Amino acid sequence: MTRPSLRSDSGTVETWRLIESWDAAPEFNMGLDEALLDDPEAPPTLRLYTWSPDTLSLGYFQKWADVPGTGSVGAVVRRITGGGAIHHTQELTFSIVLPQSHALFRGPVPLSYGRIHEALITALAGFGVEASLAGQAGLLSDREQTGMCFHESTPLDVAWGARKGVGSAQRRRRGRVLHHGSIKLGSTPLEGDIATLEGYLPGDNPIGALAPALLREIETSFAVHLERSEATASERSAAQRLGGRYASRSFLRRR
Amino acid sequence: MRPDDRHYLPSHEWVKTDGDTVVFGITDFAVEELSHGNEDDLVYCDLPEPGRKLTQGETFGEIESVKAVADLNSPVAGEVVEINKTIEDHLQVLAKDPWDKGWLIRVKPDDASMSHLLDAEGYEASVGEADE
C-alpha cells in the first residue's frame, strides 16, 4: 500500500513538540488538551499520557444516564471530544493538536482519521499485531446500550481479532483540531471483550515498548521531528484553570 | 459559487438578512468536512435558547458528527429569537440542505453591518485555500 505523504512541498521536516504526562490527574489531562486547542500560538503538539486515578471519560454529547459505569471507577470526567465513554486504565492515551489547515487534518474529518489510523496500524504491526480498519461489517466487540466507545464501531476504527482496539475522537474549534486516541493495553470489566495489546508487549513495561515505536512511526508517517518538551508555565496555568470544569457536577451532568 | 445573498465566516458559518432579523447556518463545506457525504453521520446539534444574547464571534452551539465535535460561531451580535427545531431531531435536513431548510437560528442583530464578514467571493477564496 502506498502511504499518503504529509511531507511539505519543500521537503522540510516539521518539528512537533512532544509532551509526556504519566499518571496525570484527569483534570490536568483534559485541561491541557483544551489549553493547547484554544491557543492559536501553541506549536504543533503531540501528547502521550496516562491517568491517575483510573478515569471514565464521557463523550461531549453523551447523557450521564446513558453510561452505566460511572459508579465503578476512580474518577469521571466529560471530554470536549465526541463519541462514547472510555475507561482510561491499562491504556496509552495520545492527543494531537494542530491547525485545521495542517496537511494531517485538511479535508473531511474521516480522511484525517484514515491518516492517523494507518500510522497506528503500521506501528502495531511491529509487535505482530495484525490490525486493520474495521470496515463495514461490524465487530465482535460491538454491544448495545453500554455507552462505551469500544462497544461502538465505525468503518474507520482500528481493530484486530475483529474487535476494536483504538478509540478516537476530535474537537474542531476556531480553526484548530484536537484529536484524542486511546490504545488499549488491557481490558477492564467495563469494556470487556475488546482488542488489547496484552500478550504483544512485555508485561512489565508495555508503555516503555509501545511509546517509542509509536513515536518513531509518527515521525516517519507524518514527516515530522518530535522534540521532547514540557508544557509552558502559561499552558500549565491554563490547564489548571480549564481543568476544574471537566469533573464538575454541572459539566458532567450537562446532559 | 456559494449563494451571494448572504455573508460568511472563515469557520464556515453563514448569515442572511431576513427583514429585521438575520438567519445563521453552516455551509456545504462544513457539512462535507463533518460528514464526508454520509448524511447520517451528523448525530447531535446543540443550539441556544431563544432570548440568549450573542456577541460577535461567540460560540453559540456545537454540532457532532460520528467522529468530531465542531463549534458554531456567531457571525454577528444579537439576541436569539428562534431556533430551527426541525434539525435538532432530523440532522439529515441540515446535511441535505444547509442553505435553506437546514438553517440553525434566527437572531435580532444589534447592528445591521456585515462589513467584517466575507462575501461569497471571499468565502470561495477562503475555501479554496483550505482545499489546497
For residue B18, what are the CA distances in angstroms to B5, B23, B54, B105?
10, 7, 18, 12
Residues of B in contact with A174 (CB under 8 A): 11, 71, 73
- CA torsion B97→B98→B103→B104, rounded to 10°? 130
pLDDT band at A159; cut points 50, 70, 90: very high
Which of B49, B56, B51, B42 has its CA nearest to residue B7? Answer: B56
pLDDT (0 to 100) of residue B112: 84
**Looking at CA atoms only, how far is residue A255 from chain B in angstroms?**
11
Segments making up each domain of chain B, as ranges: 7-110+119-131
- Does A4 map to a domain? no
Contact yes or no for A106 and B130 at CB 8 A: yes
pLDDT (0 to 100) of residue A6: 64
Q: Which helix (H) or strand (E) holds A58?
A: strand A55-58
Measured distance CA(A131)–CA(A163) in Å, rounded: 10
Work out the number of other CB atoms within 10 angstroms of the CB of residue A160.
20
**Looking at CA atoms only, how far is residue A58 from chain B in angstroms?**
13
Contact yes or no for A109 and B11 at CB 8 A: no
For residue B113, what are the CA distances in angstroms to B8, B10, B51, B53?
13, 17, 21, 17
Contact yes or no for A109 and B73 at CB 8 A: no
pLDDT (0 to 100) of residue B132: 56
- CA torsion B106→B109→B112→B116, rounded to 10°? -90
Which of A190, A192, A144 has its CA nearest to residue A164? Answer: A192
Residues of A in contact with B70 (CB under 8 A): 171-173
**pLDDT tens track for A162-175:** 999 999 999 999 99
**Looking at CA atoms only, how far is residue B34 from chain A in angstroms?**
6
**pLDDT tens track for A211-254:** 999 999 999 999 999 999 999 999 999 999 999 999 999 999 98
Amino acid (one-letter) located at A23: D
Which domain, by its residues, includes A217? 20-252
Q: Residue A134 pLDDT more than 70?
A: yes
Please answer whether residues B89 and B44 qualify as being in contact, where contact means their C-beta atoms are separated by less than 8 angstroms. Answer: no
Extended beta strands in chain B, E state: 7-8, 13-18, 21-26, 42-46, 53-54, 59-65, 68-73, 78-83, 105-109
Nearest CB to A173: which of B32, B71, B131? B71
Could you tell me if B10 lies within 8 Å of chain A, comparing CB atoms? yes
Contact yes or no for A174 and B73 at CB 8 A: yes
Measured distance CA(A1)–CA(A3) in Å, rounded: 6
- CA torsion A238→A100→B24→B104, rounded to 10°? -90
Higher pLDDT pick, A136 / B84? B84
Which of A93, A179, A191 has its CA nearest to residue A147? Answer: A191
pLDDT (0 to 100) of residue A181: 97
Residues of A in contact with B30 (CB under 8 A): none
Domain with residue A90: its CATH number is: 3.30.930.10
pLDDT (0 to 100) of residue A1: 41
Which of A99, A83, A246 has its CA nearest to residue A173? Answer: A99
The partner residues of B15 in beta bridges, in order of sequence, read: B7, B24
Stretch B79-88: mean pLDDT, rounded? 94
Please answer whether residues A206 and A213 qualify as being in contact, where contact means their C-beta atoms are separated by less than 8 angstroms. Answer: no
Residues of A in contact with B43 (CB under 8 A): 61, 82
Contact yes or no for B69 and A156 at CB 8 A: no
**pLDDT tens track for A175-191:** 999 999 999 999 999 99
**pLDDT tens track for A20-54:** 999 999 999 999 999 999 999 999 999 999 999 99
Higher pLDDT pick, A12 / A33? A33
ipTM confidence score: 0.88
Measured distance CA(B117)–CA(B77) in Å, rounded: 12
- Does A107 map to a domain? yes
Nearest CB to A108: which of B32, B64, B69? B32
Q: How far is residue A178 CA from its own chain's centroid? A: 9
Q: Residue A4 pLDDT more than 90?
A: no
Measured distance CA(A17)–CA(A226) in Å, rounded: 6
**Domains identified in chain A, total number:** 1
- Does A8 map to a domain? no
Could you tell me if B39 lies within 8 Å of chain A, comparing CB atoms? no
Instruction: Give contacts of B 63-102 with A, CB under 8 A.
Output: 64-71, 73
**CATH classification number, B7-110+119-131, choose in 3.30.70.120, 1.10.3720.10, 2.40.50.100, 3.10.20.90:** 2.40.50.100
Going by their DSSP bridges, the two strands A75-78 and A86-88 should be labelled as unpaired
**Looking at CA atoms only, how far is residue A202 from chain B in angstroms?**
32
- Does A145 map to a domain? yes
Mean pLDDT of chain A: 94
Q: Which sequence positions of A are flagged as catalytic? A: 149
**pLDDT tens track for B24-38:** 999 999 999 998 888
Which of B73, B64, B53 has its CA nearest to residue B116? Answer: B73
- Does A121 map to a domain? yes
**pLDDT tens track for A68-84:** 989 999 999 999 999 99
pLDDT band at B66; cut points 50, 70, 90: confident
Measured distance CA(A112)–CA(A104) in Å, rounded: 6
Share of chain A above pLDDT 90, in %: 89
Measured distance CA(A172)–CA(A99) in Å, rounded: 9
pLDDT band at B130; cut points 50, 70, 90: low
